[in-house]
Structure 1
Amino acid sequence: MKPIPREESSVKADRPLLLTQGDAAGIGPEVIAQAWARVPEPAAVVVGDPQVMRRALAQCRLQRPVQVLETISEPRLPGAMAVWAPPGLPATLLQGSQGLVRADCGLAAARCIEAAVGAIQSGAARGLVTAPVHKEALHAAGVPFPGHTEMLQHLAGVPAVRMMLVNDELRVALVTVHVSLRKALDLIDGPTILETVRQVHAMLVGPLGIAAPRIAVAGLNPHAGEGGLFGDEEVTTIGPAVQQAQSEGLQVHGPYAPDTVFMRARRGEFDAVVAMTHDHGLIPIKYLGLDAGVNLTLGLPFVRTSPDHGTAFDRVGRGTADPSSFLAAWQLGQRLTISAG
């Protein structure tokens, strides 16, 4: 992973990239600490609990002072980790054990996300990189969203968002995300597929700067249904959505067999793949490794990226967290927010 370069614009640096701490009982604070130590002069602010971040620095054996900010816009001290604690964080985050599902940690993660989005919407910050949250902890805290994507959609007030995972070899967007497979089948329809394709195209030609992107749409059934022999969704639903996207001038092709389309994209035939379900799309990209994978949310009015891994409860507290994926998310978030001005 290439190091994140220093900011060239003091104006942009004054509007920091926000890094939310994620679940305090998970690996998020440690990957932030490890990543922060590798970034020269970070134009960023951690949204989280200062004591949690001090613990993470100590666990990672990093000598770094923590500057507690009163506001996002407060001048940041060179060499210090800038941390802004939003209102409403539980006072119990250091009292319980790490590596466990805890309602207070779920609540704190949600408060940090809400505050970060509010800061971006007010113009005080320019984008968001989120450390992992734990869905069970969010649920235990009474948060009415299964994860980041759905919460961010609600906070941003947009009708639809999509998840795209990217690394150096693949870009994969999902039509359905955090629902059971049985429910996902009911959610796959023409308008939803078409909206996903449109959002992928907008991201590719806009922030990612690909002039004429080629998008492949994966089928749902084995061999893309074999003309209806193994299921007819490709004929009745996916194919017509592809045709509608083509009529809008988009370079969209498919539906293709899910077991080969990712290989074709990896070889350069396509710039992105649209997959129908969560595991259809994420197994191939995660198989290539979690160290460089980045989750990029489509459809938001601001940039949001995150690492391609979870809270890693089984590894927390050792100080050996690999920050590669978080660094990749940070790097992409910085590049996209700078290119957007």
Structure 2
Amino acid sequence: MRSPLPVIALTLGDPAGIGPELIARLLAQPDTTSRANVVLVGDPWLWAWGQQMAGVQVATTPLASLEQARGRANTEQAAFVAMDTVQRRDVMVGQVSAAGGRSVLQVLNRCMDAARAGAVDAICFAPLNKQAMKMGGLQHEDELHHFAEYLDVQGYFCEFNTLNGLWTARVSSHIPLKDAASYLSVERIQQATRLIYRSLQAAGTARPRVAVAAFNPHGGDGGTCGREEIDIIEPAVRALNAEGVAVTGPYPADTIFLKARDGEVDAIVTMYHDQGQIAIKLMGFSKGVTVQGGLPIPITTPAHGTAYDIAGQGRANVSATEQAFLIACRMGAASLSS
């Protein structure tokens, strides 16, 4: 009899960062495998190193492939699918490398192959480094665009960040700030808002309360400090309300997160990267999660980076990784039952 739990693929992240230690800490917690059919994917030496850094020993069940995971009857231990992607001699702890970037891409691609085959319900990956991935062959601006191409996504997709129940989306992401205004459109705001609304529902919030940020200082001051609110954002909000999406705004970006702090909203749609990232990271850097929105499978990761400065020191905080895993479990369970 196979497990009714969602199959969650876990990866070790950048081999020179804190990812291996974080995954070791996560899997050492006794309740982790009660939430999902967990399959760890990566290099055996890197998994051993992560356990050493975390000061733990975690028994795993070897599997020849991710495709075997769903048939497991006993999921009390995490499974381990071994890959050979990088040699230990090619990794310098705390340093960017093409070898590390190639390793990350190979492991993530393997997990997405399994997802496309219906063998995996969600992916949770440990922190990676975009520079290393680009050195190792990444052809896109970030991992989200790589996922979208690999999974043949034709519709709208964007990155979410979550913290203590608050979710944020953004209309533009990893682009120069000087280009942010050119990315604003009624359609893109509608797409970002619809996507985060539906994703919150998939994660368990039945009636999400979504607020939309303004673009200009003071919300444009009635058009005297920019017209994006009048010409683009307000029409998008009206159109969303007309189709039944509960959304309010635009609110000035320097005050909208007070509503989040006070529990008045479940999600905020910002117009560009730092408008939301600065606020949410100040609110809880060690617990934030990134969710890759708009993909055919839930993919999550801690919102912090590889922390090269403390890699190999046994000091990594597992809180954000725990939260990323829990969101992957909830969304994976929802997709499994749908």
Is the counterpart of residue 11 in structure 1 residue 3 in structure 2? yes
Is the counterpart of residue 317 in structure 1 residue 309 in structure 2? no
Preserved CA contact (<8 Å) 2:3 2:73 = no
Identity rate, percent: 32
SS at match of 2:160: strand
CA gap of 1:41–1:307, structure 2 versus 1, over 3 A, is closer
Is the counterpart of residue 85 in structure 1 residue 76 in structure 2? no
- Given the alignment, which residue of 97, 102, 107 partners 2:97? 102
CA gap of 1:95–1:211, structure 2 versus 1, over 3 A, is closer
Which residue is 1:257 aligned to?
Answer: 252
- Given the alignment, which residue of 112, 116, 122 partners 2:111? 116
Q: Number of matched residues?
A: 329
Is the counterpart of residue 59 in structure 1 residue 53 in structure 2? yes
Length-normalised TM-score, structure 1: 0.90
Give structure 1 stretches of 5+ with no counterpart.
1-8
Preserved CA contact (<8 Å) 2:22 2:54 = no
Preserved CA contact (<8 Å) 1:178 1:278 = yes
Which residue is 1:6 aligned to?
Answer: none
Post-superposition shift, 1:17?
0.5
Preserved CA contact (<8 Å) 1:103 1:137 = yes
Post-superposition shift, 1:105?
0.6
**Partners of 2:61 and 2:52 in 1: CA distance:** 15
Preserved CA contact (<8 Å) 1:128 1:333 = yes
Query: What is the letter of the counterpart of residue 44 of structure 1?
Result: V
Which residue is 2:43 aligned to?
Answer: 49
CA gap of 1:76–1:129, structure 2 versus 1, over 3 A, is farther
Post-superposition shift, 1:292?
2.2
Provide the aligned C-alpha RMSD in A: 2.1
Specify which structure has the higher proportion of helix.
2
Preserved CA contact (<8 Å) 2:51 2:57 = yes
Preserved CA contact (<8 Å) 2:10 2:39 = yes
Preserved CA contact (<8 Å) 2:96 2:132 = yes
Is the counterpart of residue 21 in structure 1 residue 12 in structure 2? yes
**Partners of 1:197 and 1:50 in 2: CA distance:** 41
Which residue is 1:279 aligned to?
Answer: 274
Q: How does 1:1-341 map to 2 (within 5 A)?
A: 10-13=2-5, 16-40=7-31, 42=33, 43-65=37-59, 67-72=61-66, 73=68, 75=72, 82-86=79-83, 89-158=84-153, 159-168=155-164, 170-204=166-200, 206-340=201-335, 341=337
SS at match of 2:4: helix
Give structure 2 stretches of 5+ with no counterpart.
none
SS at match of 1:289: helix
**Partners of 1:323 and 1:10 in 2: CA distance:** 30
Preserved CA contact (<8 Å) 1:138 1:145 = no
**1:103-139 CA deviation, whole Å, 9 max, x = no partner?**
0110110111111111111111111111111011011
**Partners of 2:245 and 2:287 in 1: CA distance:** 28
**1:221-251 CA deviation, whole Å, 9 max, x = no partner?**
1111111111111111111111211221211
SS at match of 1:17: strand
Post-superposition shift, 1:83?
2.5
SS at match of 1:90: coil
Post-superposition shift, 1:10?
4.6
Preserved CA contact (<8 Å) 2:121 2:297 = yes
CA gap of 1:93–1:12, structure 2 versus 1, over 3 A, is farther
**Partners of 1:186 and 1:254 in 2: CA distance:** 20
**Greater Cα shift, 92-101 or 53-62:** 92-101
Length-normalised TM-score, structure 2: 0.91
CA gap of 1:79–1:244, structure 2 versus 1, over 3 A, is closer
**Greater Cα shift, 216-225 or 62-71:** 62-71
